[in-house]
Amino acid sequence: MHFSTIIGLEVHVQLLTKTKIFCGCANRFNPRNPNVQTCPVCLGLPGSLPVMNREAFRLSLKTAMALNCQITRFTKWDRKQYYYPDLPKNYQISQYDLPFSSDGWLEIETESDGSSAFQTDSPLSASSKTKRVRLIRVHLEEDAGKNLHDESGQGADSQVDLNRAGTPLLEIVSQPDIRLPQQARAYLEELKLLLNYLAVSDCNMQEGSLRCDANVNLHVQTDDGEIIPTPIVEIKNLNSFRGVELALNYEIKRQIEQWKQTGQKLGDVEKETRGWDADREVTFAQRGKEEASDYRYFPDPDLVPVSVSEELIETICSEMCELPAARRCRFQLEFQLSNYDAMVIIGQGRIFADYYEQVANVCGDGKQAANWVTQDVLRELNDRQITIDEFPIRPPELSALLTKITGNEITTKSAREIFSELLVDMGNGDEGKEISGARIDQIIDQKDLGIVSDVGQLDAIIAVAMGRNKKAVADFCDGKQTAIGRIIGEVMREVKGADPKLVRKMIVDKIGS
């Protein structure tokens, strides 16, 4: 038997608005004070009337346009009927047959199209290819509250916090184009990056701002070539990228074993909803999945339909920033970066990419700027637990430092010593202050870090170093190219600002003569 995996994702994104979608209650994460961000509207009390949050709709349009969706010029609100303790109205205001957008797509980097048999995960490599994941729809709805269950095993108490009820929630539904668990993770990472660039959501998965449901089943190809789809399973409320990948890996293997035992195909049993136990790393059965008819959708009588004007579309287009995928391609072309370097820089967020671009433009060496930003700067950010906009060495100063390297004024080794010295200033009562370019010149003078290009001075020191390392000279003459490193190191220790390229050339010339 040959098994192919079919995966579709439903992503729920809480939008960054000040208030909820249909009332004036504050929209913020507040677990310490449950049930205080509520009012008659989000509690569904009799006589209360909802009013649409214009900013929530504008952020939704912005997201859909960035996801290449077709924007519907006329859209409406529908009531989705179901009972659950965290839904006090017993219905959710959502969109059914006329969502405000549809038919979009998002491209991801992937190693394989997944058309072959089920594979285990592997990291992206230089051979990565682009895969387009189509989107069925992007629609806007209100979030439900949150149920809190006693998981100690010593009681059966459950509590409900309705602070989240009524939060503007964007649902992004993909076509079943994903074939591998690692593709699902790559899709979610790229989607989160896009949402962060657009500043429409903080995408904090720990706080529930970004949640994912995964639909998965198998296509079984028999020996005579027949393709048999197996029953679809929906895995609910996955709240980490790793969790999505692990859950899909487990579920695929479970479905393969189930097929071998039962031979059940799509339609033989109802669609099943399963949960994910992160501690045991297994999925578990929860219930049968409702169909659209079970929700008894009908237009919400309290909310007027929404018409989207051409002027609004043009306004949002003018506000759109350069999107991550386009910026990644531009960085590779403009600054001659590898795909990996561009992905790392863009993946750190919009402000980090802005920082890099300013440095690269001023110092004129995109690759060197990438090395420093992704290694030295990023390491310090992680060690100090600060963001790039809090980093004391601003783009003009780092550019000045790198320009001195490209201008052959200091060595890379000396530049790193200066970089460290600048950061030491932070610990001497200068926290929060930006570092000036004059300070760089001061350190160079104080520590005598300027490149020494005095051939006469270097020639004498090289002669002494060669005399102390006659075996290294002999080994180099015998073809051991690395042997010369011992002599170079001794010269560099003696003359701190010596140019290593010049030193190496002078040693080779001296040995040759």
Domains in the chain: how many in total? 3
Give the helix ranges, DSSP H, for 90-239. Answer: 181-198
pTM: 0.84
Q: What is the largest CA-CA distance in the chain?
A: 99
Give the helix ranges, DSSP H, for 102-230. Answer: 181-198
Regarding whether 465 and 442 lie in a shared domain, the answer is: no
Instruction: Please report where in the chains the tokens 């002999």 appear, as a residue.
Output: 474
Three-state DSSP state, 508: helix
d(CA 57, CA 315): 14
Residue 67 in domain: yes
Regarding whether 259 and 154 lie in a shared domain, the answer is: yes
pLDDT of residue 436: 62
d(CA 363, CA 315): 35
d(CA 123, CA 112): 11
Regarding whether 262 and 214 lie in a shared domain, the answer is: yes
pLDDT of residue 389: 92
Regarding whether 167 and 228 lie in a shared domain, the answer is: yes
Domain boundary among 447, 473, 488: 447
User: Which residues of the chain are under the pLDDT cut of 50?
Assistant: 115-127, 429, 432
Regarding whether 174 and 99 lie in a shared domain, the answer is: yes
Regarding whether 28 and 169 lie in a shared domain, the answer is: yes
Residue 94 in domain: yes
Residue 339 in domain: yes
pLDDT of residue 154: 65
Q: From residue 463, give the alpha-carbon distance in Å to each of 454, 494, 510.
A: 14, 12, 8
Domain boundary among 307, 339, 359: 307
Q: Whose CA is closest to 230, among 182, 275, 262? A: 262
d(CA 378, CA 374): 5
Residue 312 in domain: no
Range of the domain at 472: 455-512
Regarding whether 443 and 461 lie in a shared domain, the answer is: no
- The per-residue pLDDT for range 28-43, each reduced to its tens digit, is 999 899 999 999 999 9
Q: Are 342 and 324 in contact (CB under 8 A)?
A: no
* Length in residues, the chain: 513
Residue 314 in domain: no
Regarding whether 123 and 229 lie in a shared domain, the answer is: yes
pLDDT of residue 123: 35
Regarding whether 373 and 279 lie in a shared domain, the answer is: no
How far, rounded to the nearest angstrom, does the alpha carbon of residue 257 sit from its chain's CA centroid?
A: 33
Domain boundary among 273, 307, 341: 307
Regarding whether 433 and 467 lie in a shared domain, the answer is: no
Residue 316 in domain: no
Residue 18 in domain: yes
74-75 and 129-142 beta bridge pairing: unpaired
pLDDT of residue 321: 92
Regarding whether 63 and 35 lie in a shared domain, the answer is: yes
CATH number of the CATH domain containing 493: 1.10.10
Three-state DSSP state, 293: helix
pLDDT of residue 113: 58
Regarding whether 125 and 242 lie in a shared domain, the answer is: yes
Residue 90 in domain: yes
d(CA 328, CA 351): 14
- The per-residue pLDDT for range 452-479, each reduced to its tens digit, is 665 666 777 888 888 888 888 887 887 7
d(CA 19, CA 142): 12
